[in-house]
Structure 1
Amino acid sequence: MEPEVISPESIQSEDSQEKSKMQQLVQNQRTHFNTGKTKDLEFRLKMLRLLKTAIVNHKENLEAALKADLNKSETESYATEIGVTIAEIRHYISNLRTWVRGQKVPTPLFFLPGKSEIRYEPYGVCLVIGPWNYPFKNLFGPVLGSVSAGNCTVLKPSENSPHTAAAIKNMVSEYFDPEYMVVIEGGVSETTELLKERFDYLFFTGGTEIGKIIYQAAARHLTPVTLELGGKSPAIIHKSANLEVTAKRLAWGKFINLGQTCIAPDYLLVDNSIKDQLIEKLKKVIVDFYGEDPSTSPDLGRIINKHHFDRVKGLIEGDVVFGGDSNEEDRYIGPTIINNVKPDDKVMQEEIFGPIIPIIGYDDIEEAIDIINKRPKPLALYVFSNNHGARKKVINSTSSGGVCINETIMHVGSPYLPFGGVGNSGIGAYNGRTGFETFSHRRSVMTRSFMFDVPQKYPPFTEGKLNFIKFALKRLF
């Protein structure tokens, strides 16, 4: 059975009961925001510390929920969801005093005496819609930006990870007033009603097609948005790569969360001279990581639901050189390698979001670059190479949300790097200071003295005044 999806038409329709509920919820948050309380720096820091406390105290409940939804191990849950979020909160707390100071900028000569600055101010009431694959981290990552910027926030976790959504709601409702932060559970109908309301900022993480619908809904209110989407993130393996390390990093990046990661290496472009060697090393690494029978490994997740299980399983065809096994009852699909894939094969027509590694060989790196550039711009691009020239060529000849050299996924863990897509893979970015700035309005403020008023700017205009203006504009900046 196909899952329900949001449609543009449904956003136009009215459901009076739900509409009243959502309207009141948003109005309550807007009223609270207008008190000015959330703008205070000490209040923001207090809320960040409170959120950290809430997560620590609910850690076991969250881990159990992630286990139930995605079969995440305790280690994976902590490393990729809970622990990393706590670390991010510490980063926000340590740096927020510096970030909120704003930025003093030069004032042009003919505007003196005066001064200019850019202030960071909260938008107001923000809606953050999270995905199901990292249902905690990819919901609270943006929320940290909203909180640090001084906004009120409505959180909408994915209905496809119901245990985690319930755990998040229990945590937030215990520690925060709904006028400041609230969680809305539910599916398409609840999200649809939320999208009818006017928010001051909207942040969505999910698929490209739903992202387009979210964008249309935001446009009705001219609400600014960030869209964190996805796509097929390629990995180029150059003949100069260290294959031992490359195989481990590729396997780790691909099979963490059983491939259900928006920046997982989706397909490999491998120099034909090393392709067979890499395949053998990948096989060995998979066994080293997950054993001879990966289905029994406690460190391998499960596909989120039957719909996605059927979809991913249907992509396994062709020259399968490893894996390919599955268990519908357990929603298990084993780590799979498909060799000799062609760009027009079925597995290359959509983002895989599962534990399948398609391998395409190339003889010249220009071939690999051409394959990438014929497709929509990916969220991530990976290059494994010890050749500086090859790395530079790939980076300069392609476009992607981010690039990681000789590694996978790790770039998203740095709070000093913005994380976001380009084109079909997303609009805008977040992470660390970028997250704070994403949820902040950059307000321009110029202050001028009453002294030295320039008469030439006032009518009636004369040729002499025009000549002065021409002279001034030549020396303005």
Structure 2
Amino acid sequence: MSDTPELKYTPLEEISEIHATLRKSFKAGKLRSIEDRKTQILQLAYLIQDNYERFKASFASDLGRPTLETALQLDSTISDCKIAYDRVEKWARTEKAPFSMNFAALRPVIRKEPKGVVLSISPFNYPVWLALGPMIGAIAAGNCFVLKPSELSPATSGLLAELIPKYLDSDVVRVVLGAVPETTKLLELPWDHILYTGSGRVAKIVCAAAAQTLSPVSLELGGKSPVVIDPKCDLKTAAKRIMWGKCVNAGQTCVAPDYILVPEQSEQTVIDALKEAHKEFYPSAPDMSSDFSHIVNKSHFNRLKNLLDKTSGTIELGGQTDESKLFIAPTIVKGVKGGDSLMSEELFGPILPVVPVKDVDAAIEFINSNDHPLTLYVFSQDSAFKNKVFDNTQSGSAIANDTLLHCATDGLPFGGIGASGSGYHTRKYTFDMFTHLRSSIDSPSWLVIDMALGSRYPPYTVRTFFL
């Protein structure tokens, strides 16, 4: 898009200074008190609320996001602020260890302490929720925080860089803008935790760099999230929910349905249901609709177009592309095989391959022959069918009869397994990720303690004390 704003990148020499400032702030106990944490969390909520329309405009510039999709992301982030504000005191409370007669006198507890200064490298596709969500949890845990937002969403990243210093304490939270050189400089520094959200290719670079400073890393990497369809399911509802999950943000969602596995004899029936759902969503055409986003940039557009051009499957719906608008129509491709171009990588776009298989056992075998996905979707009203798929596969999440909603469901962790990521976040799980569980005992100077545990002292005798 020609009118996309340019980011003013953070000078490389300032990055070490930012790191040192936050390290000093953490040691000074800037966020030691729960009240100070709550103040910053509240300010984050006001940051979004006060600038709601500006964020809507930035989303439209970066991704062509429909107004409702933008509102859902902003409202969800404000909700996350409220949850953290209301619950942080409980989350941070010191826990007593389970009662044990042997150790009760030692008063064993688990202290919930911040890790220190943490770094989050966030992606372009949900540039507020995936940028501010980790920030909320890190602040709630008492950490200082550096955000490196994506250079691929310049309008939103620039807006965050402008607003965060106005609403939050710059001794606690800082934003670093940039691309590869700035990220490389960040990764040269020691961090108390790094959260990276993005591709597996870049994750290997992040992990290799973090290993040099022994910085712990959590990863959210996406992957090819399959949909397994039971032909006896409520197909009309299933088709609407699958198409919605694929079309939100033009498929640029880490947990978007990536491909469908369906018994061969039901392939066309499922495709017809998907086409009907598409017709309901976009009665004229998606490129004429204000309810459909565009691809983030030309590089991702060309990647998707190249995969689509090389497919051996048959395009049953869509297929239209327009580079000048970064537009790719919602596209359904029939008869896709395992070695197809569309199966070579996570699509991260509005293309939906349909892979015919013999039966549910073949679907399970297909899933297990590939990397563990971030999410596995099953559409069925049969408990035995759902359990068979879930019990015989591995994935970050196991979702029946809907798409995407688990990410916003309070109380559920969000994270991958294997190649789809490591660690868990969202709300309390983000707090936990950035929290050090510090074991502590306070052993009294009672004679009875040394009488009970006296055999630990030399000189040792035949008498042995079992802990």
What residue is the counterpart of 1:68 in the other structure? 61
Which secondary structure state, in structure 1, belongs to the residue aligned with residue 102 of structure 2? Answer: helix
Q: Which moved more, 1:111-120 or 1:66-75?
A: 111-120
Q: Verify the 8 A CA contact 1:271 1:361 in the aligned structure 2.
A: yes
Alignment of 1:439 with 2:434, yes or no, is yes
Alignment of 1:189 with 2:181, yes or no, is yes
Partner amino acid for 1:22?
I
What residue is the counterpart of 2:375 in the other structure? 380
Superimposed CA distance per residue, residues 129-165 of structure 1 (whole angstroms, 9 cap, x where no aligned partner): 1001111111111111101101111111000111111
Q: Verify the 8 A CA contact 1:233 1:378 in the aligned structure 2.
A: yes
1:406-425 equivalences under 5 Å are 406-425=401-420
Give 1:167 deviation, angstroms: 0.7
Q: Verify the 8 A CA contact 2:229 2:260 in the aligned structure 1.
A: yes
Alignment of 1:456 with 2:451, yes or no, is no
1:151-162 equivalences under 5 Å are 151-162=143-154
Hey, what's the Cα distance between the residues in 2 that align with 1:55 and 1:292?
34
Q: Verify the 8 A CA contact 1:230 1:263 in the aligned structure 2.
A: yes
Alignment of 1:361 with 2:353, yes or no, is no
1:77-476 equivalences under 5 Å are 77-79=70-72, 81-316=73-308, 317=311, 318-451=313-446, 452=448, 453=450, 454-464=453-463, 466=464, 469=465, 472-473=466-467
Superimposed CA distance per residue, residues 340-381 of structure 1 (whole angstroms, 9 cap, x where no aligned partner): 110111100100011111001123200000000000000000
Partner amino acid for 1:399?
Q
- 2:30 pairs, out of 37, 55, 61, with 37
Q: Verify the 8 A CA contact 1:258 1:302 in the aligned structure 2.
A: yes
Structure 2 regions of 5+ residues with no counterpart? 1-9
Hey, what's the Cα distance between the residues in 1 that align with 2:135 and 2:227?
30
Hey, what's the Cα distance between the residues in 2 that align with 1:89 and 1:219?
32
Q: Verify the 8 A CA contact 1:401 1:420 in the aligned structure 2.
A: yes
Identity of aligned residues (%): 38
Give 1:197 deviation, angstroms: 1.1
What residue is the counterpart of 2:5 in the other structure? none
Give 1:108 deviation, angstroms: 3.7
Partner amino acid for 1:77?
T
Hey, what's the Cα distance between the residues in 2 that align with 1:160 and 1:339?
32
Q: Verify the 8 A CA contact 1:48 1:147 in the aligned structure 2.
A: yes
Q: Verify the 8 A CA contact 1:107 1:115 in the aligned structure 2.
A: no
Hey, what's the Cα distance between the residues in 2 that align with 1:111 and 1:383?
47
Q: Verify the 8 A CA contact 1:320 1:339 in the aligned structure 2.
A: yes
Hey, what's the Cα distance between the residues in 2 that align with 1:119 and 1:387?
45
Which secondary structure state, in structure 1, belongs to the residue aligned with residue 171 of structure 2? Answer: coil
Q: Verify the 8 A CA contact 1:236 1:384 in the aligned structure 2.
A: yes
Give 1:25 deviation, angstroms: 0.8
Hey, what's the Cα distance between the residues in 1 that align with 2:410 and 2:182?
32
Superimposed CA distance per residue, residues 427-470 of structure 1 (whole angstroms, 9 cap, x where no aligned partner): 10101211111010011111211112132110011112x3xx2x
Hey, what's the Cα distance between the residues in 2 that align with 1:420 and 1:335?
27
Hey, what's the Cα distance between the residues in 2 that align with 1:55 and 1:171?
9
Hey, what's the Cα distance between the residues in 2 that align with 1:461 and 1:312?
71
Hey, what's the Cα distance between the residues in 1 that align with 2:203 and 2:67?
31
**Corresponding residue pairs, total:** 451
Hey, what's the Cα distance between the residues in 1 that align with 2:19 and 2:104?
43
Q: Verify the 8 A CA contact 1:22 1:197 in the aligned structure 2.
A: no
Which secondary structure state, in structure 1, belongs to the residue aligned with residue 254 of structure 2? Answer: coil
* Normalised TM-score (structure 2): 0.94
Which secondary structure state, in structure 2, belongs to the residue aligned with residue 463 of structure 1? Answer: coil
Q: Verify the 8 A CA contact 1:265 1:408 in the aligned structure 2.
A: yes
* Normalised TM-score (structure 1): 0.92
Partner amino acid for 1:384?
F
Which secondary structure state, in structure 2, belongs to the residue aligned with residue 37 of structure 1? Answer: coil
Partner amino acid for 2:173?
M
What residue is the counterpart of 1:28 in the other structure? 21
Q: Verify the 8 A CA contact 1:111 1:448 in the aligned structure 2.
A: no
